[in-house]
Structure 1
């Protein structure tokens, strides 16, 4: 049986992806930073192999991937889903705040991918990363978050033709608004009321942004719908590089992307590498 490692599976897109990947025939290694939060997943997927993984901790990453190989003997797919939201703007926060966002959302992806790649090459497997429409279009008060997601998209788009020559298919999934605990986690990460109260001259524009965001999330797609896109990329005979998880996400990114599925860019860069 093929083995899929999914990060960030305690809630939301990661949880739903783990469930659907199992239904698609994969044995799922479901990872999360705090395995005390595994109850919701195990209720849906009792046979899941739940493991602790903090994507920001190199020792945790190494131990998790080594453990998967020791116990299962192979790794056919990595689905990078773990991440954290963040609201703020640079005049109102520290550079260390920005570094923290990059550490979770970019370097975490880099660390897990580096550890998994030798095994994905051996299996001729799949590397899938949940990014965001914020990895394509920069959004107000999401400077650090969008910078991290832009970085992930650029890194994966650069990596894709290289490892593609060695048999690993790379895809990114770009959700728009998704009805998960992500927004609640953003609020917990940086109290919105405190942000607004301390915003000074920025207060009118941040209030406008928050009103628009509340409206957008009132029409959000479900985490399961987004996970269906992820697992579609996992099981596709010839996966694309870029997938948007909803019509609204596709429309939003199309404002910036003429090459909506990434095929033209990858065809160009792959041609640089010879036959």
Structure 2
């Protein structure tokens, strides 16, 4: 099957930035393969797409980024159904809060599976089709993919890894006509934080010597998310990268995110970042 509308596959579209980007892309005329691990959670996406008058361009499909067979099947089915694949937006992600002494290596591996290896699997499966279309890979990382943050060791490690992977891939992909960019949100008012599924009182009770620092971090983070940008606002940056003729490699979704990332990128010895994040735990 061949179509003239460009096709984008977006992961993690049941809520937040993924949902907002799927609706924005459909409204802009893209054929959107909107994927999620549990398609029973597609109600909010379908309703938002219908409200935007773009429901007919949203095609909900199951994709578990931690399952290579699921990734391969979804990508191949998307190309078979729509005739082409012009872009992938790697958006699926999962938080992991804690410090390593009180966590497990399995928890770190789980964070890496979703936030890093899932991105690798989807990108690898999509690349032959993106070469054919002269397409692009857009990966939603985080300011936590640039600046390491207290009690986010596993999450930031995974996002750092995704950024390093994409920064290394970008010049190679460019030689075969594929653009690569990362989009770095700061705090976004979405279900992402709720999806971390934390019992904060229990965490504090179990934190032992880390309890004061954890309490300070939680207090600071609650305030940050109280002033967060909306998923729709963050999706604007994703769409800009998706549609620009020559998008930059790295894009932030807000002035705050640009300022925050800028601290790290102009901090060769790490002292500025350490001074900043130490304040979050005191």
TM over 0.5: yes
Displacement after TM superposition at 1:258 (Å): 4.2
Which residue pairs with 2:90 in the alignment?
Answer: 80
Gaps of 5+ in 1: 260-275
Distance between the aligned counterparts of 1:257 and 1:65, measured in 2?
35
Distance between the aligned counterparts of 1:51 and 1:184, measured in 2?
23
Distance between the aligned counterparts of 1:159 and 1:150, measured in 2?
14
C-alpha distance after superposition, 1:57-102 (max 9, x if no partner): 0111011011011111110000000010110000001111101110
Distance between the aligned counterparts of 1:81 and 1:158, measured in 2?
19
Which residue pairs with 2:205 in the alignment?
Answer: 197
Give the SS at the match of 1:134: helix
Distance between the aligned counterparts of 2:148 and 2:25, measured in 1?
31
Q: Please provide the CA RMSD for this pair.
A: 1.0
Length, aligned pairs only: 257
Which residue pairs with 2:10 in the alignment?
Answer: 6
Which residue pairs with 1:170 in the alignment?
Answer: 180
Distance between the aligned counterparts of 2:35 and 2:188, measured in 1?
21
1:53 to 63, 67, 81: 63
1:128 and 2:123 correspond: no
- With normalisation by structure 2, the TM-score equals 0.90
Distance between the aligned counterparts of 1:56 and 1:258, measured in 2?
35
Which range moves more in the overlay, 222-231 or 23-32? 23-32
Distance between the aligned counterparts of 2:214 and 2:243, measured in 1?
41
Give the SS at the match of 2:265: coil
1:139 to 139, 149, 155: 149
Which residue pairs with 1:272 in the alignment?
Answer: none
Which residue pairs with 1:25 in the alignment?
Answer: 29
1:160 and 2:164 correspond: no
Displacement after TM superposition at 1:5 (Å): 0.3
Which residue pairs with 2:280 in the alignment?
Answer: none
1:211 and 2:215 correspond: no
1:150 to 157, 160, 179: 160
Gaps of 5+ in 2: 50-54, 268-282
- With normalisation by structure 1, the TM-score equals 0.92
2:43 to 18, 39, 45: 39
